Structure 1
Amino acid sequence: MNRDRYDLPLTTASDRAAAHYRDGVDCMLSAWHGAEDAFDKAIAEDPGFALAHIGRARLHQLNMEGSKARAVAAQARELAASATPREKSHVEIMAAAIESKPKLAVTGAEAHLEEYPRDAQVLSILLGAFGLYAFSGRPDHDAAKLAICERHARHYGEDWWFVSYLGWSHTEAGNLSTGRTLSERAMGLRSANANAAHGLSHAMFEQGDMEPGRNFLSQWMPAHDRQSFLHGHLAWHVALTLLDDGDLDGALAIYEQHIKPANRPYPPLNIFTDGASLLWRLALAGQTGLEPHWRDIASYGENYFPQAGAHFADVHFALATAMTGSDALEARLAQLEARAADGKLLPGQAAIDLCRGIRAFAEGDNAEAIRLLEPAISELTRIGGSHAQRELWEDTLIVAYLRAGRGEAAASRISARLDRRPSARDEAWSRAAQEVAAPRN
């Protein structure tokens, strides 16, 4: 019987289909271009191969091709009737995620991994900044990711994918030295691995090694296919290091060349959230002339995320529409309030307060922005994403403090962050806070 790279049986008699499927899975696990083509070839070799269909459905989902994703997942379910119990369970879990049934997918995945711990694709959907744990609304999702990795670590050893995500999980849980060491080890095991490069970039960012992080990505990214779905996000990481260095023009150039909506082959959630957050950071830092970019990213958000539901997109929707003055923000807030009343807004009131705080800040009402953002920051992890992505809201609160003349409050928050990691930008803000707080004669 054919097997996958983790030695799990595959219900296909075609050696070629199995080989293409293994290639597709490796491309997905390394965030490398080619998974779509590999799964399509596997299906062409064996149209009855259920796992190839569900892998293709997952890619449709990531690209926000919802109807295609659900149709292919339904087909995979039918085909899995003649597959092994492990494959049937795998298909059901992935289909639940595709059909927007995250709680079912999470409980199914956790149970599945107790019996089949080396089913890496099932483990992978729980992990990462956009995984099921991160978007569950729970405040301890970073700890949950690390816990499940450590629970199953003995089954993976030095597997390049697993070491990548073990390192990432340690970094996001605050174990920066361990996270960086593991991410560097993963890069040594397989350099053609954007997930490891991404994890290492986060570790360097959290440790304040901005220039080394920029140098690493500048040397590594030329070998990375620009069609791979993490390429734009890794460029976003380069832009963050330029922002920290005060190079606003360089960061804006990164946005224009790699991130802004322009028929890019990246998942819409990445394009929208990276674009809106980078523009907001540039605005906080004093960059002018961003109005055309704001209109562009707001239009993109209204096209791909027209209704509330994807809460990480919703809080970024607030950034874009607050800066353009669009009436769409008020409509989105009403939708979020309705979802909260029905218990469907997983991050709860925090997501709404973050949106309202952003609007107040954009309107110049710093006192109201502070009133809304201060309590929401304590619940910030509930929106998902990474520490680096969520830091934007704390940045906004610091600037609101400074603009409101509350230098001591700004200095306290900046000091806490400098204790966590050194940052040239935070040091500049610290000096500004001290000037604001200084007694005047």
Structure 2
Amino acid sequence: MLKDAQGLIVTTDSAKAIAAINNFIEQALGYGRDAETAILQAIAADPTCALAHGYAAAYYLSQENSQAWKQAQPYLQAAQKYLAQTTTRERLYVQAILAWANQQIDVAIALHEEITDKFPHDLISVQQGQYHYFYIGDKDKLLQIAEKVLPSNLEQHYLYGMVAFGLEQCHQLDAAEKIARQAIALNKYDPWAHHAIAHVMETQGRVSEGIAWMEAFADTWENSNSMLYTHNWWHIALYYLEQKNYQKVLQLYDTHVWERANKQSPKDQVGAISLLLRLELRRVNVGDRWQDMSNYLDSRIGEHALPFQDLHYVYAFAKAGYHQRANQMLESMQHHALTINPFLRRGWLEVAIPAARGMLAHAQGDFYRTVAELKPVLSRLQEIGGSHAQRVLFEQVYQDALFLAQQQNRIYGITA
């Protein structure tokens, strides 16, 4: 047995495997582009290391698409095969990843909480706990799981970035900015800390300052994975959107958001969709970008990894003119909502499905139905995940539909 860079025991006698695991931890916490390569190198160095297999499975599950979930399966099987002689922490971790794969998110969360209680230096577990809380909309727990291990990790800038994002999501903006700046003082190449401050400045309306801040760090994102690279540029685009510099926003979409995206990545796709939709709400002609982007979405129709993502896909299909695909996806969502485990089912049935109907109606120009479907669920949208900066889009769609429905009423002489 050897210890990793976090000081935690890993069941392996391979120094090469430990070195690769340490590289994976750095890549995962720093949203680096080489996380997959690193963990596969660890497995190659020691094919019997259960934790390495667990990390590989978690990496593929985090991609949130059906192909990657299939890639995770042999690593999950190997992790279980070699689990018997491992440490308590490793067993808990593999069990958490198995629960995730089975979409038992409540079980996965409980296991990550147990790991962080017993092994507060395990920042990978903290990160994954935050991930799950993010996508079930529990901002308080997202903050708490990071804050509780802070006293044990006072030199860990990556944890500072995690705490900063949790504080921002809980609207503790000054505290979020302070600790994010501490993270960056320790390591200027911390894209998640940059991201936390982007949220703070956007929420506070510090548009010009936000542009200057993010663009000053943009060159440090070249080694980031496509998700965070494109997402940080997405935040810059939102600042320019507030300045009504729409040509700049289109330029950023073309050069940094979609051009640099992994075209098969759901998270990259969602960022592109949400930016195009924001432009459309400002009555900006986006040309054939809907069609170009939507050509990559067919595999999403029956996937349903996250309801937050599905609301974007349905809209994109309709805006691209692919109405049959949009309707097919909505039907598939409804079926999925009836088969999902009870912990997630309520959010799908009571929030995601009505919201999807509302988004589809807006894309198809049925503004009365948009209002009718979205109004009852606006106060519950946090249940489908995403940050408040992302979810505000659905409120904007609702307000746009309300305005356009009222305009139509005036045109036809209808009074409410």
RMSD: 2.1
Counterpart in the other structure of 1:311: 307
Deviation at 1:378, TM superposition (A): 0.6
Instruction: Tell whether 2:162 aligns with 1:161.
Output: no
Deviation at 1:327, TM superposition (A): 1.5
Deviation at 1:181, TM superposition (A): 1.0
Counterpart in the other structure of 1:59: 59
- What is the SS of the residue equivalent to 1:168? helix
Matches of 2:292 and 2:303, distance apart in 1: 18
Counterparts of residues 231-380 of structure 1 (less than 5 Å) = 231-260=229-258, 264-265=261-262, 268-290=265-287, 292-325=288-321, 326-342=323-339, 343=342, 345-347=345-347, 348-380=349-381
Counterpart in the other structure of 1:215: 212
Matches of 1:72 and 1:202, distance apart in 2: 35
Letter paired with 2:399:
I
Deviation at 1:241, TM superposition (A): 0.8
Letter paired with 1:44:
A
Contact 1:133 1:144 in 2 (8 A): yes
Deviation at 1:99, TM superposition (A): 4.0
Matches of 2:139 and 2:405, distance apart in 1: 33
Counterparts of residues 96-245 of structure 1 (less than 5 Å) = 96-127=99-130, 131-136=131-136, 141-225=138-222, 228-229=225-226, 230-245=228-243
Deviation at 1:120, TM superposition (A): 1.4
Counterpart in the other structure of 2:413: none
- Alpha carbons of 1:145 and 1:190: their partners in 2 closer, same or farther (altered >3 Å)? same
Matches of 1:193 and 1:208, distance apart in 2: 23
Contact 1:70 1:95 in 2 (8 A): no
Matches of 1:355 and 1:265, distance apart in 2: 25
Contact 1:164 1:186 in 2 (8 A): yes
Counterpart in the other structure of 2:18: 18
Matches of 1:359 and 1:135, distance apart in 2: 22
- What is the SS of the residue equivalent to 1:80? coil
Letter paired with 1:106:
I
- Alpha carbons of 1:62 and 1:251: their partners in 2 closer, same or farther (altered >3 Å)? same
- Alpha carbons of 1:198 and 1:158: their partners in 2 closer, same or farther (altered >3 Å)? same
Contact 2:276 2:286 in 1 (8 A): no
- What is the SS of the residue equivalent to 1:25? helix
Letter paired with 2:182:
R
Matches of 1:372 and 1:405, distance apart in 2: 16
Matches of 1:44 and 1:336, distance apart in 2: 39
Counterpart in the other structure of 1:44: 44
Counterpart in the other structure of 2:410: none
Counterpart in the other structure of 2:77: 74
- What TM-score results when the alignment is normalised by the length of structure 1? 0.84
- Alpha carbons of 1:164 and 1:309: their partners in 2 closer, same or farther (altered >3 Å)? closer
Deviation at 1:173, TM superposition (A): 0.7
- What TM-score results when the alignment is normalised by the length of structure 2? 0.89
- Alpha carbons of 1:135 and 1:327: their partners in 2 closer, same or farther (altered >3 Å)? same
Matches of 1:56 and 1:267, distance apart in 2: 19
Matches of 2:100 and 2:188, distance apart in 1: 29
Deviation at 1:345, TM superposition (A): 3.4
- Alpha carbons of 1:187 and 1:132: their partners in 2 closer, same or farther (altered >3 Å)? same
Contact 1:277 1:319 in 2 (8 A): no
Contact 2:297 2:313 in 1 (8 A): yes
Contact 2:279 2:286 in 1 (8 A): no
- Alpha carbons of 1:168 and 1:314: their partners in 2 closer, same or farther (altered >3 Å)? same
The count of corresponding residues between Structure 1 and Structure 2 is 398
Deviation at 1:227, TM superposition (A): 5.5
Matches of 2:285 and 2:2, distance apart in 1: 58
Contact 2:315 2:326 in 1 (8 A): no
Contact 1:32 1:193 in 2 (8 A): no
More off after superposition, 33-42 vs 279-288: 33-42
Superposed CA deviations along residues 70-100 of structure 1, whole A, max 9, x for unmatched, are: 1112112212222212112212212322343
Matches of 1:364 and 1:267, distance apart in 2: 28
Letter paired with 1:259:
V
- What is the SS of the residue equivalent to 2:267? helix
Superposed CA deviations along residues 49-69 of structure 1, whole A, max 9, x for unmatched, are: 222222222222234412221
More off after superposition, 299-308 vs 101-110: 299-308
Contact 1:2 1:9 in 2 (8 A): yes
Structure 2: gaps (5+ residues): 408-416
Deviation at 1:113, TM superposition (A): 2.4
Superposed CA deviations along residues 1-32 of structure 1, whole A, max 9, x for unmatched, are: 52122211122222232122112101100112
- Alpha carbons of 1:26 and 1:346: their partners in 2 closer, same or farther (altered >3 Å)? farther
Contact 1:294 1:323 in 2 (8 A): yes
Superposed CA deviations along residues 158-217 of structure 1, whole A, max 9, x for unmatched, are: 311111111100000111111111111111112222221221211221121122222122
Contact 1:32 1:225 in 2 (8 A): no
Matches of 2:381 and 2:352, distance apart in 1: 8
Matches of 2:57 and 2:123, distance apart in 1: 17
- What is the SS of the residue equivalent to 2:189? coil
- What is the SS of the residue equivalent to 1:83? coil
Contact 1:311 1:345 in 2 (8 A): no
Counterpart in the other structure of 2:412: none
Deviation at 1:393, TM superposition (A): 0.8
Letter paired with 1:38:
A
